[in-house]
Amino acid sequence: MSYEPKIIGFTCNWCTYAAADLAGIWRMQYPSNIRLIRVMCSGMVHPRMVTEAFSLGADGVMVMG
Amino acid sequence: MANIRNQDSWVHSGEPEQATRKAMDLVRMAVSKVGLLNPLPEIVVGVQQSALVIGGGPSGMTTALELADHGFPVHLVERSNLLGGQARFLYNTWKGEPIGPALQEMDARVRSHPLITLHMESTVTDAEGFVGNFKSTIQSPRGPQAVDHGVTVIATGGKGYTPTEYGYGTADRVYTSIEFDKLTMMGDRRINDAKTFVFIQCVGSRELGRMYCSRVCCTHSVQAAVQLKEQDPTREIFILYRDLRTYGEREELFKKAREKGVVFINYELHGKPRVTQLDPRQLEVVVWDHILHEPLRIVADAVVLATAIVPSSANADLARIYKLSTDADGFLLEAHAKLRPVDFAGDGLFMAGLAHYPKSVDEAVAQAKAAAGRAITVLSSDRIGLESTKATPVLANCDGCALCLDVCPYHAISLVEEATAEGSRSSHIQVNVAQCKGCGMCQATCPKDGVYVAGFSMEQITAQVKAALAL
Ligand SMILES: Cc1cc2nc3c(=O)[nH]c(=O)nc-3n(C[C@H](O)[C@H](O)[C@H](O)COP(=O)(O)OP(=O)(O)OC[C@H]3O[C@@H](n4cnc5c(N)ncnc54)[C@H](O)[C@@H]3O)c2cc1C
């Protein structure tokens, strides 16, 4: 079986999350192995959330805002 | 919400199986979060039932009059010494209604309305607050003045692009459409006596740097062509266009122009027309005719450039002051093009007119009325409920270390001291919910889990991560 990394993306409610919606409206295509979690600001993402995601088995974490 | 449309089915339409798996994950993530939600208290604040309108063009004047006619006091701020904005340079609407007299009437009504306070030669330099409770500083020649208001409407308009091609500024008898209108209104002989006119469309629009359509220019040129033909049917008129956008009922003008013998020639970006001065009274325009398959040479008495509309430089300043969004071209950006077309993303902030996107006077006025209508939904009550997504202290964990005070961008957190039962003093944080925007910088900074944003607690996010990883 081929390796499929699991990516967690923290997305800011005001920009990245809205941009991800817009990407949909424009029918842009991107790999389906990312799971987006909406936060109120990328500044809300506690360092512990990132390390925790890794320790729970995520292969990559993106903090976007 | 499990966002399985925009963020799943639409972006992975080529991989239905993976998309379905992702959808299942997204639903599981949402459910895991919902299970940890707590009821949030409703937050209610008072509303200052008055408005601030920035920009005294047709849009700003219309919004101010609508609000004042509904009984709400309005501060109208205009940067220049005249009301009317760009519309002062226009002659007719596309329906042929004269713009000048309508502007004069608006101007008089604004100046005499008991509920409108006019601030001429003034700008807004600073603002604070939130929906229902803004405080803005208006800088006038007499000095700064602070005003309280419940809503803010931005109607700062736009301006014409100054062309750098087609001989503009170097050749005689090459005009922008605004200059053409002015000369026409004054009965200038350079227009009155001219026989052959060439209109060039999309000057500065729909090319690199300004990819947008300026919307009013096709109708303006076609309408001007019809008028020129009506005055003198022997005139020869050419409109060189890329795509003709006389949308909606404006199509009638296009039909009329065709009937009257106005010649429409399509050109493409890679083969723009060339303009050269023959003598002080005549110009040569050469354009590739895609039907004849050869260059067409026109000797013209006047060349009119349908120039792009560009946003006011004020948009960037106001965006900073009121934390507004602008698009890549510098126009104001609405919260949602279809669902909230005159609202900014921030509450209590609205927009109207040219500042938002190029549009004709009638469309600007319609939008200004819409902005007034939306503003009234806030002003009509003396109280308003706010979002409940706010920073929430956890007093059991907070030891008053105050790290979060420094990172809060809204100065919403303060420290309170209390005497404990044992007689010593303890301190902890307190959040001003009206100022807090729920960004959670405090949450990310706190080393002790002493504060979280309602609806985005660490437990909730951890639960989502676990669900995402199918744990
Ligand atoms: C080149 C050009 C050609 C046009 N041609 C046509 C046409 O043929 N037909 C048609 O229907 N429409 C045309 N329009 C559009 C028309 O001018 C507008 O729809 C109309 O003027 C309504 O605009 P407004 O009130 O939103 O903005 P404006 O008319 O631009 O007024 C904005 C006002 O805000 C003021 N202002 C700006 N910044 C600040 C600030 N920071 N603080 C305070 N005040 C500020 C300005 O001084 C101005 O008075 C044209 C526009 C341009 C630029």
In a domain, A29, yes or no: yes
Q: Is the pLDDT of residue B134 over 70?
A: yes
- Same domain as B289, residue B172: yes
| Cβ of residue B443 closer than 8 Å to a chain A Cβ | yes
Residue B307 has a pLDDT of 97
| pLDDT tens-place string over residues B387-424 | 899 999 999 999 999 999 999 988 899 999 888 777 77
Q: How far is the CA of B157 from the centre of ligand 1 (A)?
A: 4
- Same domain as B280, residue B192: yes
- Same domain as B277, residue B240: yes
Check residue B345 and give left, alpha or beta (phi > 0: left; psi -120 to 50: alpha).
alpha
Taking a C-beta distance cutoff of 8 angstroms, is the pair B181, B90 a contact? yes
Taking a C-beta distance cutoff of 8 angstroms, is the pair B449, B435 a contact? no
Say how far apart CA B195 and CA B300 lie, in whole Å.
8
CA distances from B73 to B328, B369, B383 (A): 34, 16, 17
What H or E segment, with its residue span, contains residue B219?
A: helix B217-231
In a domain, B36, yes or no: no
| Cβ of residue B448 closer than 8 Å to a chain A Cβ | no
- Same domain as B369, residue B411: no
Averaged pLDDT score across all residues of chain A = 95
Q: Which two tokens stand for residue B453?
A: 């944003």
Q: Tell which one of B110, B216, B227, B247 to mutate to probe ligand 1, the residue whose CB is within 8 A of the most ligand atoms.
A: B216
Going through B312-462 in order, the beta strands assigned E by DSSP cover 349-351, 383-386, 391-393, 413-419, 425-431, 451-453
- Neighbour tally for B270: CB within 10 Å: 6
Q: What is the mean pLDDT of residues B99-116?
A: 97
Q: Which of B8, B22, B456, B457 to mutate to test the interface with A (most CBs of A within 10 A)?
A: B456
Taking a C-beta distance cutoff of 8 angstroms, is the pair B191, B231 a contact? no
Residue A1 has a pLDDT of 60
| ipTM of predicted complex | 0.97
Taking a C-beta distance cutoff of 8 angstroms, is the pair B59, B354 a contact? yes
Q: pLDDT grade, residue B250 (50/70/90)? A: very high
Phi, psi of A18 (to 5 degrees): -65, -35
In a domain, A2, yes or no: no
Q: pLDDT grade, residue A32 (50/70/90)? A: very high
Residue B434 has a pLDDT of 83
Domain that includes residue B428, residue range = 387-454
- Same domain as B274, residue B196: yes
The more confident residue out of B41 and B218 is B218
Residue B410 has a pLDDT of 86
- Same domain as B194, residue B126: no
Number of domains into which chain B is organized? 3
Q: What is the mean pLDDT of residues B232-245?
A: 97
- Same domain as B135, residue B219: no
Please list, in sequence order, all residues whose beta carbon lies within 8 angstroms of the beta carbon of residue A14, skipping any fewer than 6 positions away.
A41, A65, B345
Q: Please report the atom of ligand 1 found closest to the CA of residue B86.
A: 29
Q: What is the mean pLDDT of residues A44-65?
A: 96
Phi, psi of B430 (to 5 degrees): -140, 140
Q: Could you give the 3-state DSSP secondary structure of residue A38?
A: strand
| pLDDT tens-place string over residues B257-290 | 999 999 999 999 999 999 999 999 999 999 999 8
Check residue B360 and give left, alpha or beta (phi > 0: left; psi -120 to 50: alpha).
beta
CB contact under 8 A, A32 and B12: yes
Number of domains into which chain A is organized? 1
In a domain, A23, yes or no: yes
Residue B246 has a pLDDT of 97
Q: What is the mean pLDDT of residues A26-45?
A: 96
CB contact under 8 A, A8 and B469: yes
Q: Which two tokens stand for residue B395?
A: 């007093």
Q: Is the pLDDT of residue B175 over 70?
A: yes
Q: Tell which one of B78, B83, B86 to mutate to probe ligand 1, the residue whose CB is within 8 A of the most ligand atoms.
A: B86
Taking a C-beta distance cutoff of 8 angstroms, is the pair B54, B318 a contact? yes
Residues of B in contact with A22 (CB under 8 A): 6
Q: What is the DSSP annotation of B59-113? A: HHHHHHHHHHHTT--EEEE-SSSSSSGGGGG--B-TT--BHHHHHHHHHHHHHH-
- Same domain as B148, residue B129: yes
Domain that includes residue A39, residue range = 7-64
Residue B419 has a pLDDT of 80
Q: Is the pLDDT of residue B425 over 90?
A: no
Looking up residue B397, the CATH number of its domain turns out to be 3.30.70.3270
Please list, in sequence order, all residues whose beta carbon lies within 8 angstroms of the beta carbon of residue B179, skipping any fewer than 6 positions away.
none
Q: Please report the atom of ligand 1 found closest to the CA of residue B124.
A: 42
Please state the pTM of the whole predicted model. Answer: 0.86
Q: What value does the CA radius of gyration of chain A take, rounded to a whole number of Å?
A: 13
CB contact under 8 A, B464 and A37: yes
Say how far apart CA B378 and CA B398 lie, in whole Å.
36
Averaged pLDDT score across all residues of chain B = 95
In a domain, B263, yes or no: yes
Q: pLDDT grade, residue B345 (50/70/90)? A: confident
How many residue pairs from chains A and B have C-beta atoms closer than 8 A? 105
Which residue owns the Cα nearest ligand 1 atom 8?
B220
Side chain identity, residue A42: S
- Same domain as B300, residue B177: yes
Percent above pLDDT 90 for chain B: 90
